[in-house]
Structure 1
Amino acid sequence: MSYNYKFARFALITALAFWLAISASASSNSDYDPLDIPADHEPEIIDTAVHDRARSRDIPLRIYLPASDSAAPVLLFSHGLGGSCKNNAYLANHWTARGYAAVFVQHPGSDNSVWKSVEPRQRLAAMQKAANGRNWLLRVRDIPVVIDRLEEWNAQTEHPLQNKLDLTRIGMSGHSFGAQTTQAVSGQTTHPRFSFTEPRIKAAVMFSPNCPKNLTPEQAFSRVKIPWMLMTGTKDTSVIGNATVESRLSVFGALPPGSKYELVLHDAEHSAFGDRALPGDTEPRNPNHHRAIVALTTAFWDAHLKNDTSARNWLNGPGPRTVLEPKDRWQTK
C-alpha cells in the first residue's frame, strides 16, 4: 500500500469521524427544547413559613413541587419590593414542569404589607421608604435560614417534603430587590471584610440586576465564581432607587468570564419579568418576553444544576436565537 494511499485513507477516515461528531452534536442540540413541558402538568403547592428564632422573624414560603418521586433540584426565588411569595407563578409553573422544586420566599418588611394598608396616593412614598439597607440585610439573611430549614424538612420523617429535595443542587433567582438579594448571596462583593455568599447556591439568575451604589461594578462583581445569568430590558428603569438601564448593564461587563450570560429584551420595562404591568408602564406587554425568559432560564438550570450537555450546547450555541426576537440582545462569556 503506497504512502499516498495510506495518507488519503487516513484523511478520509478523520474527516468522516469529524462529520459524524458534528452531526451527532447538531442532532443532540436540535432534540433539546427548554419549552417542552407536559400538557397536563399540575405542580403540588405547599404554603408554609419558616420561623427564625434568632431574629423573631417569620418568613412565608410558597413551595411548588414537580410530579416526581425522586428528589428534585431546588430553585429559590426572591420577590421584588412590595411583592410576595405568590408572585411570578409563571416561572414556578414552568420550572416545576421541568423537574425542579421551586421555593418562593417572602420577605417581611419589603413585601406587599408595605403598600396594602396604605392610601393609594401614599404608596409610592411607603415603597421608597421600605427600599432601605435594613430590609436588604433582612432579605439576605433570610436565605441561609430558609435553606437550613429545607434541609431539616427534607430529612424529617413524615414531613411533606421528606426526600423531595436535592439540596446539593440549589439555584437562586430574584427580580429587582430580589435580584439584589440574589446577587448578595451568590458571589457579589458587598464589603472587603465580610461576605454574604451562601456556598450552597450553585447558580444564579438575576432579573433586573443592579450595581450597588457604594462600589464600582468591578469591585462588586469581579470575584463571582458561580454561573450567573442576567436579564434586563432596554427600558428597565425604576423610580424607586433611581435604577437606570446603564446601571443594570454595568453588571455583566464586570463579571469574570466562564458561564456568564446576559439577555437584554428590546422595549422591556421593569414589569416585563413579573406577572402583570405596573402603574406608569408605557409599552404594551410582549408575550414573547415570558417565552424567552422561561426558555433561557430553563436551559441555564439544566446546564448548570443538572449538568445536561444538550442544554449547555443549546445555551452556548444557536439555541437562544430561536426564542428571541431580532432586536433582543444576547451575549455570553
Structure 2
Amino acid sequence: MGAALALGALGGCKLETETSAALGEAKALSPHDAASGASAGSASAPASAPASAPASAPAFADVSVPSRLYQAHDLDWQDLMRQRAVPVRLYLPAGRAEAPGLPLLLFSHGLGGSRRGYSYLGAYLASQGVASLHVQHVGSDRGLWTGNPFSLVGRLQDAAKESEALNRVADVRFALDQLLASEFGERIDPQRIAAAGHSYGANTTMLLAGARVQRQGQVLPLLEPRIKAAILISAPPFYGESDLAPILQDVRIPSLHITATQDVIQVPGYYSAAEDRIKVFEAMGGPSKALAVFEGGSHSIFTDRSGTGGVSLNPKVKVATRELSLAFLDHVFVGRKEGLSRWNERYGALLQRWQPAAGMA
C-alpha cells in the first residue's frame, strides 16, 4: 500500500521544531562548533569500526568534545540540477585523516536548523571513529528566522510544503554522492552508512529509509538503498495520516527511535503529542527496531540548546543520546551487543521506557 498524503504532509507538516528552539540555535552552538575548518588531534577508536561507548559514566556537566579529537570541515556544494545550494559540515576523527573504512552517519536537521546544529552528536561520533555528515536544507534552515517577523508564519508554512520535504530527501542523497566522489570519499566505508535526523529531519530520514509515499498511483522513488540503518529523534507522524502502518511497515532497515515523555510539538497551527513518537515506532517495519523514552525533557532537548527540558536533565539526555547512537551503530555495523546492554545499565535511571529489539540486549 502507499500513502495518500495531503499536500504539505511529507515533512510531518507544519513545524516540527519549536520556534523558540530554532531561534535560539545560534546562541546554543558549542564553542568548537563555531569554527570552520579542521582541528588536529587523535581519536582513540579504530577507524574500521565504531567504538563501544565508554565503560564509565561521563561527566554530565560538559557535553562538549575536545577539539583535538575530531575535525570539522564546512563544505559548500551546489546541486546544479535543482539549482539549490547544499551546505554540509563533515565531522571526521582527528589524527587519522587518511584512514579508510569509516562508518558514516548522514544527519538531517529540524525546521530552522543548520549544518552547525547537533554538534554534540556529530563531534562525539567523530571522536569515536564514525564520520558524520550534517546536511543543511536551505529551504527550511535557519534562514527562516531572518526577514520581516510578520511574515514568519508564512515562511514556516512554505518550508513545510511537500516540495521542500522532497527537496530535503534529494539534499541528503546529493550530499552522499558528493561526499563519496570527493577527496574524503576513500575514507568512507560505503557498506556502513546510516541516516539520522531530529523532528523534520526524522521525517526526511524515514523517507530515505523506505517510507512509502504514493502519488497518482505510483510510489515515489525516495528510498536510498545505501542507507543501512536509521536513527529517528523526535519523529513526528505524517501530517493528516491517521494510519501510519501503510507508510512505515515496509521499512527494511534497523531503526532506533529516541524521544522523551514531554516531547510535545506545539506551535501555531500544529500540535503533536508526545504519544505520536510512540505511534511512529509502533508502525515502523524493519528487521529490528529499538525505542528509548527519556523521562521528562522536551522536543528541543535534543538540539544544541542548553537548558531546554531542564537545566540538569538537558546535558544528561544529550550524553545518553550520543552514546546510545554510537552503541546502536556498533551493534548494526559490527554486531557487538554489549554496548547497548552497558548503555542501559548506565542510563536506565533516566528512562521511562527502553525497548530493545530482539538480539540487541
Which whole-Å deviations, capped at 9, do the CAs of 1:254-284 have from their partners, x for residues lacking one? 2336320111111110111111059xx6744
User: Which of 34, 44, 47 is 2:53 aligned to?
Assistant: 34
Number of positions where the alignment pairs a residue of Structure 1 with one of Structure 2: 289
- 1:313-328 map, 5 Å: 313-315=338-340, 317=341, 319-325=343-349, 327-328=351-352
Residue 46 (structure 2) aligns with: none
- 1:180-259 map, 5 Å: 180-191=203-214, 193-194=218-219, 195-215=221-241, 216-240=243-267, 241-256=270-285, 258-259=287-288
Q: Does the CA contact (< 8 Å) of 2:323 and 2:343 recur in 1?
A: no
Distance 1:304 1:214, change over 3 A: same
Q: Aligned to 1:201, what secondary structure does the other structure show?
A: coil
Distance apart, 1:40 and its partner CA: 7.3
Question: What percentage of residue pairs aligned between the two structures are identical?
Answer: 31
Instruction: Say whether residues 1:97 and 2:127 are aligned partners.
Output: yes
Distance 1:264 1:282, change over 3 A: closer
Distance apart, 1:291 and its partner CA: 1.7
User: Which of 77, 94, 117 is 1:50 aligned to?
Assistant: 77
Distance apart, 1:61 and its partner CA: 0.6
- Measure the CA separation in 1 of the matches of 2:309 and 2:77: 38
- Measure the CA separation in 2 of the matches of 1:231 and 1:61: 24
Distance apart, 1:129 and its partner CA: 3.9
- TM-score, length basis structure 2: 0.74
Residue 299 (structure 1) aligns with: 327
Residue 5 (structure 1) aligns with: none
Distance 1:198 1:162, change over 3 A: closer
Instruction: Say whether residues 1:165 and 2:194 are aligned partners.
Output: no
Q: Does the CA contact (< 8 Å) of 1:272 and 1:285 recur in 2?
A: no
Q: Does the CA contact (< 8 Å) of 1:208 and 1:231 recur in 2?
A: yes
RMSD of aligned residue pairs (Cα, Å): 2.4
Q: Which moved more, 1:171-180 or 1:268-277?
A: 268-277
Distance 1:329 1:118, change over 3 A: farther
Residue 329 (structure 1) aligns with: 353
Distance 1:327 1:104, change over 3 A: closer
Q: Unmatched 5+ residue regions in structure 1?
A: 1-31, 154-158
Runs of 4 or more consecutive aligned structure 1 residues displaced over 3 Å after TM superposition: 35-41, 121-126, 281-285
Q: Aligned to 2:53, what secondary structure does the other structure show?
A: coil
Larger Rg: 1
Higher relative contact order (CA 8 A, sep 6+): 2
State the one-letter code of the partner of 1:141.
Answer: A
Distance apart, 1:321 and its partner CA: 3.4
Q: Unmatched 5+ residue regions in structure 2?
A: 1-50, 59-64
Distance apart, 1:303 and its partner CA: 1.2
